[in-house]
Amino acid sequence: MIVVKVGGSAGIDYDAVCTDLAERWKGGERLILVHGGSGETNRVAEALGHPPRFVTSPSGYTSRFTDRETLEIFEMVYCGKMNKGIVERLQRLGVNAVGLSGLDGRIFEGRHKDSVRAVENGKVKVLRGDHTGTVERVNTGLIELLLSAGYLPVLTPPAASYEGVAINVDGDRAAAALAVALKAEALLLLSNVPGLLRDYPDEASLIREIPAGEVEAYLGFAQDRMKKKVLGAAEAVQGGVLRVIFGDARAGQPVTAALMGAGTVVS
Ligand code: ADP
């Protein structure tokens, strides 16, 4: 089993990802796709007059402050436009894909965090009304049912809280939890960069290999949202996933290239 997470940043070539996935799927590989949608969500939120608000925690992690209205915009884009766009591409390529969010069948479950600590103008503030959380449980029953019936699952945040409330969760860490739960042999985290860069944005500074036991030591190279990918990679290898690869989804055969070792390989 291979879990492929494709991000939502500008420059990602979803046609290239889907074409590559479809070929591998038809060749008999067992695959699951998890996707993001942050770039498009930002655009739609601006257009709807509810611009995104990003907050930085005291420990330096950036996340989207998700009030109810933001959650609804988030769902429109992630579960609607992005998810159906990917499912349509795969269907056109002859793959029977099924798109679901983490709410459906409670695939992704976690605790609802209603408040977030954020640093604003040098001060730590507590913001309430947040619909976020972290995936703590993956309920694999529905996914296994789909796979055994020949469907390719295409999954996206949000997740379900233990009370059944929709929560915005990080897609990279959700994919990592999924890879652990399914005992996947590889987790690919594909984005609009060649991999983890030692000196971002210098693409020539690509880090080629990271020993599984040392992932956290590389957190310092990652800025803002890349930190979540490094954290996800650490969680996946600690949970028994043999390889995590940060790969480039901008062109070519993103899945095949990553599996052949292009990008940053954590193993
Ligand atoms: P996605 O939505 O595609 O999953 P994110 O935007 O969450 O991706 O994270 C990838 C982004 O992280 C890159 O586009 C880049 O701007 C940023 N980044 C920060 N530090 C690094 C780094 N050291 N190496 C690579 N990318 C980095």
The CATH number that applies at residue 152 is 3.40.1160.10
The rounded percent of the chain whose pLDDT value lies above 90 is: 97
pLDDT at position 61, please?
A: 84
CA of 144 to the centre of ligand 1 (A): 31
Would the annotation count 89 as a binding residue?
A: no
pLDDT digits (tens, 9 = 90+) for 154-183: 999 999 999 999 999 999 999 999 999 999
pLDDT digits (tens, 9 = 90+) for 15-62: 999 999 999 999 999 999 999 999 999 999 999 999 999 999 998 888
pLDDT at position 123, please?
A: 95
pLDDT digits (tens, 9 = 90+) for 80-126: 999 999 999 999 999 999 999 999 999 999 999 999 999 999 999 99
Atom of ligand 1 nearest to the CA of 192: 14
pLDDT digits (tens, 9 = 90+) for 135-152: 999 999 999 999 999 999
pLDDT at position 63, please?
A: 86
Atom of ligand 1 nearest to the CA of 194: 25
pLDDT at position 214, please?
A: 96
Provide the pLDDT confidence category of residue 225 given band limits of 50, 70 and 90.
confident
If one counts the domains in the chain, the total is 1
Domain containing 58 equals 2-266
- Per residue, what are the HEC states of the chain? CEEEEECCCCCCCHHHHHHHHHHHHHCCCCEEEEECCHHHHHHHHHHCCCCCCEEECCCCCEEECCCHHHHHHHHHHHHHHHHHHHHHHHHHCCCCEEEEECCHHHCEEEEEEEEEEEEECCEEEEEEEEEEEEEEEECCHHHHHHHHCCCEEEEECCEEECCCCEEECCHHHHHHHHHHHCCCCEEEEEECCCCCECCCCCHHHECCEECHHHHHHHHHHCCCCHHHHHHHHHHHHHCCCCEEEEEECCCCCHHHHHHCCCCEEEC
Q: Is 226 in the pocket of ligand 1 (CB under 6 A)?
A: yes
Q: Is 196 in the pocket of ligand 1 (CB under 6 A)?
A: yes
